[in-house]
Amino acid sequence: MASNVNETNDVTLTKPIRCIVKLGGAAITCKNELEKINEENLEIVSSQLRQTMISSENVVSLDWSKRPGNSDISCNVDSFGDQLSFDANKFIVVHGAGSFGHFQASKSGVHKGGLDQPFVKAGFVATRISVTTLNLEIVRALAREGIPSIGMPPFSCGWSTSGRNIASADLPAVSKAIESGFIPVLHGDAVFDDIQGCTILSGDVIIRHLAEHLKPEYVVFLTDVFGVYDRPPTEPDAVLLKEIAVSEDGSWSVIKPTLQDMNKQVEIIVAAHDTTGGMVTKISEAAMIAKLGIDVYIVKAATSHSLRALSGEVRGNVPDDWLGTVIRRISR
Amino acid sequence: MASNVNETNDVTLTKPIRCIVKLGGAAITCKNELEKINEENLEIVSSQLRQTMISSENVVSLDWSKRPGNSDISCNVDSFGDQLSFDANKFIVVHGAGSFGHFQASKSGVHKGGLDQPFVKAGFVATRISVTTLNLEIVRALAREGIPSIGMPPFSCGWSTSGRNIASADLPAVSKAIESGFIPVLHGDAVFDDIQGCTILSGDVIIRHLAEHLKPEYVVFLTDVFGVYDRPPTEPDAVLLKEIAVSEDGSWSVIKPTLQDMNKQVEIIVAAHDTTGGMVTKISEAAMIAKLGIDVYIVKAATSHSLRALSGEVRGNVPDDWLGTVIRRISR
């Protein structure tokens, strides 16, 4: 797909990107309540990201804006004396929409295109309002932890599609932000489509594109379950798939646990309970990233396991007490 | 300045842009209270923009997100039955920062650059959070009036400077949004600068750049006073300058009212009371737009006068009962 993408790929990074993190919509918003952020999770996720990005223990908020209910702006200038630099590991954050945007997009069918129809155009506006509201809140949550986060909504940042495949993306802008010491925060967004007028560009597709071109050391998907299971994780017998191997041709198979013909079985069961395309899309996008030689970790947000995955601790040999799913290329 | 700007200017518009509107920071925010929107003014301004952009009397909100204090999302699908199209006059909205962003930017000196200093970098993050918060609220206010508004923060949309002059700007993205029937909403923003690292790109400079390249029929600045005065408008003898003529070389003179040597006098007095560069910048930016043959109207927001200016009614001969300042090129 990279070949037909119309973009200037003069991406030069002085230091490789350490990690691209997906904050899953289900992990940072309340699934069952429209446009509600899961504040508790978001706070822990932001704190874990700080711990893995910035070595300093000194948390200095970079959000100097008023918070709802507060009349004050806080900006402790003195705190910056000790803070010699924000020299952070290079991360990119991409978040899903969760309970933001989904209502607006599905109601109006933005993903199917047709901007000449007033209702689709209205939905495009409404969807963008909802997802940029979430983006701003996530940027603020990260900034409060001292992470120099910069919102880069794909619609504004030159991302567009053609027949729902990525047609353009301003990757130099992402690199420039990273090189300047910021943490870009992208998200699933409504974008223009050359063929059908508009569509929804998902966070997972964005991650794959970024991974393909910016070659991070590893990718972490933070979700609301411990990883990928062989059946809906709510079922009593659900088995967590700890390691999935991806071969050269992109096909994948379960390495751990070793169950007979688990692969086929998983494929069928996953497909059956996945009406939104969520887990199938995730595995197939993850497999495409792993195919590039980039390890992918799917792990429950705001747990000790996510902290270990973010810090890179589980790279190489996965510890037995780590809960999550590793998807990696077969090295033979 | 256009000559050294590094951008693809393949801007093709099927129909000229009717108007670029500046929503002055002082008109839409409360000057004396940090990060507070002047809701009443913003609502009237949004309503006036709807009246001048969209012929339909049918107001259908395009903001389907929850509002603070509300638990509901409203989306009246049925309303779109009658709404055959949003075919709107082509407008671009640019807003200032007012009581948003200013604190964060000036505290940290973002305009002076130096992104390698932690405090400047922190200020860059804090400024962007504050101005994008305002942008989102303005996009929502316009959308609630049925205007298909799309936030296009300059930082994200490819705007950058070199020595504080515009070095790049993704104008094709603005045109594309307009051609697709949306109303782009830009704003003063913190951006990267090739030479000094970063700076503040003001809304007024953005407007001039847009006017230069996209050639709107006219430009309207909505402010918190009736127009440009010969001295601070709070002084009892202040005289509203109703017409300012700009000559080929960019120099300007007051045509109405006709006072002896008013020109020199104004220049001196304006400069003396204008510590933030606000009015001097505004007149000189406006003069540069007028020099291109594009009439500029400076008018008090949320008044009958602003509605008349926005609708284009005062073009040609300015009615005697219209309060505001016209800045136009001398046609001889």
Model pLDDT for residues B263-302, shown as the tens digit of each residue: 555 554 444 444 444 566 677 889 999 999 999 999 999 9
pLDDT the model gives residue A248? 85
Mutation for B interface: A32, A64, A102, most B CBs within 10 A? A64
ipTM at complex level: 0.91
Query: Of A55 and B192, which is predicted with more confidence?
Result: B192
Judge whether A224 is annotated as a binding position: yes
Query: Of A250 and B268, which is predicted with more confidence?
Result: A250
pLDDT the model gives residue A81? 61
Q: Which residues contact A28 (CB under 8 A, 6 or more apart)?
A: A37, A38, A41, A42, A45, A95, A96, A98, A138, A222, A301
Using pLDDT thresholds of 50, 70 and 90, give the confidence band for residue B8: very low
Alpha helices in chain B (DSSP H): 25-28, 39-53, 102-108, 118-144, 171-179, 203-214, 262-273, 278-291, 304-311
The answer on pLDDT for B331 being more than 70 is no
Give the strands of the sheet with A295-300, arranged side by side.
A149-151, A183-187, A91-95, A19-23, A218-223, A295-300, A325-329, A243-246, A252-256
The answer on pLDDT for A21 being more than 80 is yes
pLDDT the model gives residue A77? 65
- Among the partner-chain residues A73, A129, A148, the one whose CB lies closest to the CB of B103 is A73
pLDDT the model gives residue B67? 81
CB B49 within 8 A of CB B91: yes
Query: Of B311 and B70, which is predicted with more confidence?
Result: B311
- The CATH architecture one would assign to domain A1-68+75-216 is 3-Layer(aba) Sandwich (3.40)
Chain B: nearest CA to A54, how far in angstroms? 13
Q: Which residues contact B291 (CB under 8 A, 6 or more apart)?
A: B246, B248, B250, B329
Burial class (CB in 10 A: 0-12, 13-18, 19+), A302: buried
The Cα–Cα gap between B159 and B93 comes to 16
Question: B106 to each of A181, A331, B120, B320, how far by Cα in Å?
Answer: 21, 54, 10, 41
The answer on pLDDT for A273 being more than 80 is no
Q: How many CB atoms lie within 10 A of CB A329?
A: 19
pLDDT the model gives residue A297? 97
Report the residue of chain B nearest A103, measured CA to CA: B64
Token pair of A319 as six digits: 């510890």
In the annotated binding site of B for ATP, the residues are: 98, 224, 278, 282
The Cα–Cα gap between A83 and A89 comes to 16
Chain B: nearest CA to A187, how far in angstroms? 13
Highest mean pLDDT among A102-106, A194-198, B98-102: A194-198
Chain A: nearest CA to B238, how far in angstroms? 36
pLDDT the model gives residue B11? 62
- Using a CB–CB cutoff of 8 Å, tell me whether B159 touches chain A: no
CB B126 within 8 A of CB A62: yes
The answer on pLDDT for A9 being more than 60 is no
Give the strands of the sheet with A189-193, arranged side by side.
A165-168, A160-162, A189-193, A197-201
Q: How confident is the model over A131-143, as a mean pLDDT?
A: 97
pLDDT the model gives residue B155? 98
Q: How confident is the model over A183-198, as a mean pLDDT?
A: 98
CB B180 within 8 A of CB B174: no
Using pLDDT thresholds of 50, 70 and 90, give the confidence band for residue A151: very high
Chain A: nearest CA to B229, how far in angstroms? 34
pLDDT the model gives residue A55? 73
Q: What is the pLDDT of residues B24-66, one digit of tens each?
A: 999 999 988 999 999 999 999 999 999 999 877 778 889 988 8
- Among the partner-chain residues A68, A158, A197, the one whose CB lies closest to the CB of B158 is A158
Residues 71-110 of A with CB under 8 A from B: 73, 75, 77, 80, 83-86, 103-104, 107
Cβ A35–B73 below 8 Å, yes or no?
A: yes
The answer on pLDDT for B178 being more than 90 is yes
Q: How confident is the model over A35-39, as a mean pLDDT?
A: 96
Mean pLDDT lowest for which of A253-257, A258-262, B27-31, B85-89?
A258-262
H-helix or E-strand spanning residue A288: helix A278-291
Q: How confident is the model over B157-170, as a mean pLDDT?
A: 96
Mutation for B interface: A156, A162, A191, A199, most B CBs within 10 A? A156
DSSP B185-231: EEE-EEEEETTTEEEEE-HHHHHHHHHHHH--SEEEEEESSSSEESS
pLDDT the model gives residue A71? 66
- Among the partner-chain residues A34, A118, A176, the one whose CB lies closest to the CB of B73 is A34
Residues 118-137 of A with CB under 8 A from B: 118-119, 121-126, 128-130, 132-133, 136
Judge whether A116 is annotated as a binding position: no
pLDDT the model gives residue A279? 62
Token pair of B282 as six digits: 């505004």
Domain segments of chain A: what residues?
Answer: 1-68+75-216, 225-332
Cβ B60–A122 below 8 Å, yes or no?
A: yes
Cβ A85–B118 below 8 Å, yes or no?
A: yes
Alpha helices in A17-72 (DSSP H): 25-28, 39-53
Q: How confident is the model over A212-232, as a mean pLDDT?
A: 92
- Using a CB–CB cutoff of 8 Å, tell me whether B151 touches chain A: yes
pLDDT the model gives residue A288? 92
pLDDT the model gives residue B266? 52
- Among the partner-chain residues A119, A150, A181, the one whose CB lies closest to the CB of B80 is A119
pLDDT the model gives residue A85? 58
Cβ B150–A155 below 8 Å, yes or no?
A: yes
Report the residue of chain B nearest A72, measured CA to CA: B34
pLDDT the model gives residue B85? 58
| Eight-class DSSP state of A29 | B
The Cα–Cα gap between B308 and B321 comes to 11
- The CATH architecture one would assign to domain B15-56+86-216 is 3-Layer(aba) Sandwich (3.40)
pLDDT the model gives residue A238? 85
Torsion of CA B40, B44, B45, B47, to 10 degrees: 140
